[in-house]
Structure 1
Amino acid sequence: MAGAQCCENPPTLSSASGQGSVVESIGGLKAYTAGSSNSKAAVVLVSDVYGYEAPNLRKLADKVAAAGFFVVVPDFFYGDPYAPNPEKSIMMWLENHGTDKGFEDATSVIEYLKSKGIEAIGAAGFCWGGKVVTELAKTDYVKAVVMLHPSMVKLDDITEIKRPTSILAAETDSITPAELVKQFEEILSTKTEVDSFVKIFPGAAHGWTVRYDTNNEAAVAKAEEAHKDLMDWFHKYLK
């Protein structure tokens, strides 16, 4: 996950952002939640390295909840999201926040939701979270996943996917280049038993779906296009 793009445009984190609420424990993790917990369909949003307090991520959670899903955005970093620091590189931070632990925590959250009667669960992951949901897509924990500008995902990961998978990628991405995404698409196209949707957004850069400038109409429109694709995928498989 090396590369400056991962850390560009850091959001201003806010514990008060969003129209939902923060709960102390869902499957052992603090989480932002939106929508009705009585819904039979839930979406788990797995953040990028900046964590669950990012305002644009919570705004997306509210939007997905308004479409009829119960949405959970867990604090996978236990109060320690990445903060740009010349003395602490992203690689140093990752030593304490691996995606393997993220996957383990995600399964705990999903098991909790299932114990509450939620029948259909999907997961969407951004950058760091893209790798986490890729691991989920190899299992029966979820019914469908969406990866948005994922990082650390390899060709071997794609060969193991068994759940319907949507990949929303950036044209300009040094972490997961468009050429690699096209290889992902080729592999998925051979897996006739697994539905897939792959889209490379022209002019988009890594992180565009959650780290956009809300005052830039073009950036907002491009992010909203991806958000619609995400919701369409979950409507198809969770409703």
Structure 2
Amino acid sequence: MSCSQCFEKPPTLSPTYGAGTVQELGGLQTYATGSPHSMLAILLISDIYGCEAPNLRKIANKIAAVGFLVVVPDFFYDDPVIDLNDPNFDVNSWIKVHNTDKGYEAAKAMIAALKSKGVSAIGAGGFCWGGTVAVKLASSTDLQAVVLLHPSSITEYHIDNVKVPIAILGVENDNLSPLEKLKQFGEKLSAKSEVSLKQISS
């Protein structure tokens, strides 16, 4: 939720979109796509528009097509943002209910559920709101790699605690995570011997 462009054309959410199935996993309703028998999984953490956004499901399906089990949980319990420009919508109240600390705890339960199914390696990708959740997950070695896509509200504290390989994909116009800030994060990460870094800006 960091740049005005994110608000201009909200997606039309569709619970039936995509080739995958919706199932309960780790206590959350989850869009799952790819082989349920894969030992390799990717956890995708949405932006504020949630797991029913068609483009997010398209990304999940593309990743699944190369052999991964991909899961996209509903971290908002069927309460995604529909339209930030709606005068009746109070974004601050929504954020209090759906904060990234709660998302982090729910994501840890999702990782545990995947491991209980026999998954041996898990990566995570977080978009905007989900980027903050994903960078928190990167502070442990439960994941093999993390990708942050136009992440919002990440701090030096988060970066200092990264313990796994990480990629940061920024955007040109982002008030909360401008490119200069992401470059500084890149410099901090490049000094960490235990972390490999890939930084891409668009």
* TM-score bracket for this pair, using the shorter chain length: over 0.9
* Residue of structure 1 in register with 2:150 after alignment: 149
Contact 1:36 1:70 in 2 (8 A): yes
Q: Report the number of matched residues.
A: 200
* Residue of structure 2 in register with 1:127 after alignment: 128
Q: CA deviation at 1:19?
A: 0.9
Contact 1:35 1:69 in 2 (8 A): yes
Cα separation, partners in 2 of 1:154 and 1:8, compared to 1, 3 Å: farther
Secondary structure of 1:181's partner? helix
Alignment partners' CA distance in 2, 1:172 and 1:30? 33
Q: CA deviation at 1:137?
A: 0.2
Amino acid corresponding to residue 146 of structure 2 in structure 1:
V
- Counting only pairs closer than 5 Å after superposition, residues 1-239 of structure 1 correspond to structure 2 as 4-23=4-23, 25-84=24-83, 85-201=86-202
Contact 2:3 2:174 in 1 (8 A): no
Deviation per CA, 1:7-52: give whole Å up to 9, x if none: 23210000111111111x1010000000011111000000000000
Q: CA deviation at 1:151?
A: 0.4
Contact 2:2 2:152 in 1 (8 A): no
Q: CA deviation at 1:2?
A: 5.9
Secondary structure of 2:172's partner? strand
Alignment partners' CA distance in 1, 2:121 and 2:97? 31
Q: CA deviation at 1:192?
A: 1.8
Secondary structure of 1:186's partner? helix
Deviation per CA, 1:108-146: give whole Å up to 9, x if none: 111011001000001100000000000000012211100
Which protein has the bigger helix share? 1
Alignment partners' CA distance in 2, 1:189 and 1:145? 15
* Residue of structure 2 in register with 1:224 after alignment: none
Please give the TM-score of this superposition, normalised by the length of structure 2: 0.95
Secondary structure of 1:60's partner? helix
Alignment partners' CA distance in 2, 1:195 and 1:52? 29
Q: CA deviation at 1:174?
A: 1.8
Identity of aligned residues (%): 50
Structure 2 gaps of 5+ residues are: none
Alignment partners' CA distance in 2, 1:2 and 1:172? 9
Secondary structure of 1:62's partner? helix
Secondary structure of 2:171's partner? strand
Amino acid corresponding to residue 142 of structure 2 in structure 1:
Y
Q: Root-mean-square deviation (CA), in Å?
A: 1.2
Alignment partners' CA distance in 2, 1:3 and 1:92? 19
Secondary structure of 1:33's partner? strand
Secondary structure of 1:191's partner? coil
Secondary structure of 1:39's partner? coil
Contact 2:41 2:123 in 1 (8 A): yes
Deviation per CA, 1:43-97: give whole Å up to 9, x if none: 0000000000000000000000001000000000000001222122322210110
Alignment partners' CA distance in 1, 2:79 and 2:103? 13
Alignment partners' CA distance in 1, 2:142 and 2:5? 31
Please give the TM-score of this superposition, normalised by the length of structure 1: 0.81
